[in-house]
Amino acid sequence: MQRPRIIIVEGPDGAGKTTLVEYLARELGARSWHCGVPVDHPMIEYMDVAMVGLRREQTLIVDRFHLGEQVYGPIMRGGDRLGLRGRLVFEELLRRMFDPVIVLCLPPFNVCMRNWQQNHTNEYVKETAKFHDVWHAFSIVATSLPKFTYDYTRTTPATVLGMITQ
């Protein structure tokens, strides 16, 4: 039996995540889910979201997921509540249940910054210095899952679709 696909789309505010998620969901006929900041324990909340795709045995596209805790936790909340061990365990569970892939949306800093400045009152990060730290943290984020980097200033959503469906 083929495992369902989970496509995790991560990146800083203004990187084109939501636009890409909407495109992929439409093209793949998949369900999309936006994860906000975990309220209680990240592992439990992330597993709840993953179970949505598993129960339906279909592709699930997640707009922000566990890598966000690695980035936003230390910058916005004083610590990563998932931690390295939790992230590795969670990624192993994803590998056993799904065919996972991460798409890291990361256009150049100045492009993200311009987008963020136009809409930052509606974004999670409100301060310029923290926005810089978030963009930099995503540029070096670690994962054991397959990862593609997407820069919408250099390539198209169709190219991403082709890379993740090979």
42-97: pLDDT as tens digits: 888 888 888 877 777 788 999 999 999 999 999 999 999 999 999 999 999 999 98
Nearest residue to 56 via CA among 34, 92, 31: 31
81 part of a folded domain: yes
Nearest residue to 93 via CA among 136, 48, 132: 48
What CATH number does the domain containing 154 carry?
Answer: 3.40.50.300
The span from the CA of 108 to the CA of 112, in Å, is 7
The span from the CA of 45 to the CA of 120, in Å, is 26
39 part of a folded domain: yes
77 part of a folded domain: yes
Give ∠ CA 30-7-44 in degrees, rounded to 5: 100
Mean pLDDT of the chain: 91
143 part of a folded domain: yes
166 part of a folded domain: no
Confidence of residue 1 (pLDDT cuts 50, 70, 90): low
Contact 164, 9 (CB under 8 A): no
The domain of 151 spans 5-160
